[in-house]
Amino acid sequence: MDSPLVERMRPFGTTIFARMSALALEHGAVNLGQGFPDTDGPAEVLRAAVAAIEGGRNQYPPGHGVPELLDAVAAHQERFYGIRLDPRSQVLVTAGATEAIAATVLALCEPGDEVVMFEPYYDSYAAGVALAGGVRRTCVLRFPDFAVDEVSLRAAFSDRTRMVLLNTPHNPTGKVFTRAELDLVCRLAREHDAWVVTDEVYEHLTFDGATHIPVASLPGMAERTLTISSGGKTFSTTGWKVGWVTGPAEAVAAVRTVKQFLTYVASGPFQPAIAVGLGLPDDVFSGVAATLQHQRDVLVAGLRATGLTVSVPRATYFVVADAAPLGATDALSFCESLPERVGVAAVPVSVFHDDPTAAPTLVRFAFCKRPEVLEEAVRRLAELRSG
Ligand code: PMP
Ligand code: GLN
């Protein structure tokens, strides 16, 4: 029999995160592959989830999301960015940012429509576009500074461009798009009458005073921008899968039409808990970033001491390094062998590219781990040099 999997999904197989986490488990490796923290987030948030479960909030929440989370998302956008939203029509709660991305692409793209995105891209972008029968058009960001190349970005647009799928701060590079880069993206989107779908899940995880600029806050962009975020990163609750989409009411309604038939609703008791999180004082948000910045510094220093060339990230959970000095010639096979060889798991950047030769030896390491865990990983990596 032919493969049971539809052709457009055949290139996707099992995600790199699942593969590398399985290898990490098998070999007892320090897992700097899949990005999830090894400590809990704010106690208030955890307690609110327990209270919601014990308080009987265990049935289907409303299709849009629980009212206090809709209100909290709208209040958060106004408090941090001055973006005003009607919580009832301009906010939709989803099963994590992942569902928000898939539902948005499925809602907005006809088969054959083109979606512009930057490479390396988060893996679900390519899969989401494939699900919708869309066509991916990419602009490559190159190590070590990952700056946007205007010529290449312009070339990715055409009269079939339906949307730009942007991610700032950016996974896997840790890049925060600059105002000038965002202005260029927005200008091209306007010229081609395209939507901008912007994944801002790392909005609060910025370092060294870097400022995250939400696309929807830029002049003339609110009417053509759908913004996606999630509570997973900010509150260290990646397993709760509470995400959201905000934007013009008609577009949010379109996404909801699709979302209803993906999960209908999800994460009932976790929704009010994330609402509590979004309302916490500013120092909680800056504290998360400060902790991560320290962890970044520990890992960057360790990787450098091991002889790697590192692109220092200004945000997110991730650092990209060139593993050639450790003998890597192909990042995928290097990462596949690493858990067994030295007991560390990481992710090859090549899998986030259409053209894997764009980043043959780049490896992504997650630093959302306790400093002692990062130091142990670095000690193990150093064995590659001595051994
Ligand atoms: N977008 C990006 C850029 C991510 O890194 C992730 C996952 N960590 C997601 C979306 C998915 O978020 P969620 O876990 O809320 O589905
Ligand atoms: N977003 C996480 C990462 O980039 C992983 C999420 C997943 O496993 N799909 O590591």
Quick one: pLDDT at residue 1?
A: 77
Quick one: pLDDT at residue 385?
A: 80
The DSSP annotation for 85-153 comes to --TTTSEEEEEHHHHHHHHHHHHH--TT-EEEEEES--HHHHHHHHHTT-EEEEEE--TTT-PPPHHHH
For 318-344, how does the pLDDT look when each residue is reduced to its tens digit (9 = 90+)?
999 999 998 899 999 999 999 999 999
Q: Determine the atom of ligand 1 nearest the C-alpha atom of 231.
A: 15
- Enumerate helices (H) and strands (E) in the chain, giving the number of each: 13, 13
Residues with CB under 6 A from ligand 2: 15, 17, 34-35, 171
Closest ligand to C-alpha of residue 368 is 2
Lowest mean pLDDT among 144-148, 258-262, 354-358: 354-358
CA of 70 to the centre of ligand 1 (A): 20
Domain end, chosen from 249, 279, 309, is at 279
Pocket test residue of 20, 118, 122, 317 for ligand 1, highest count of atoms within 8 A of CB: 122
The DSSP annotation for 330-366 comes to SHHHHHHHHHHHHSEE-EEGGGG-SSGGGSTTEEEEE
Protein residue whose Cα sits closest to atom 15 of ligand 1: 96
CATH code of 251's domain: 3.40.640.10
Q: Is it the case that residue 383 has pLDDT exceeding 70?
A: yes
Residues 260 and 317 in one domain: no
Domain end, chosen from 240, 264, 279, is at 279
Indicate if ligand 1 lies below 6 Å from the C-beta of 201: yes
Quick one: pLDDT at residue 387?
A: 58
Q: How confident is the model at residue 2 (pLDDT cuts 50, 70, 90)?
A: confident
Domain of residue 290 covers 7-41+283-385
With respect to residue 2, please indicate whether it lies within any of the assigned structural domains: no
**For the whole prediction, is pTM greater than 0.95?**
yes
**CA-wise closest residue to 146 among 121, 126, 173:** 173
Indicate if ligand 1 lies below 6 Å from the C-beta of 245: no
Quick one: pLDDT at residue 386?
A: 67
Closest ligand to C-alpha of residue 315 is 1
Lowest mean pLDDT among 184-193, 198-207, 268-277, 356-365: 356-365
Indicate if ligand 1 lies below 6 Å from the C-beta of 96: yes
With respect to residue 21, please indicate whether it lies within any of the assigned structural domains: yes
Q: What percent of the chain has pLDDT over 70?
A: 99
Domain end, chosen from 279, 302, 324, is at 279
Q: How confident is the model at residue 384 (pLDDT cuts 50, 70, 90)?
A: confident
With respect to residue 1, please indicate whether it lies within any of the assigned structural domains: no
For 202-242, how does the pLDDT look when each residue is reduced to its tens digit (9 = 90+)?
999 999 999 999 999 999 999 999 999 999 999 999 999 99
Residues 136 and 243 in one domain: yes
Q: Is it the case that residue 284 has pLDDT exceeding 70?
A: yes
Q: How many domains does the chain have?
A: 2
Q: Is the dihedral of CA 174, 178, 182, 187 positive or negative?
A: negative
CA of 332 to the centre of ligand 2 (A): 17
Residue 124 CA neighbour count, 13 Å, CB half: 16
Quick one: pLDDT at residue 140?
A: 97
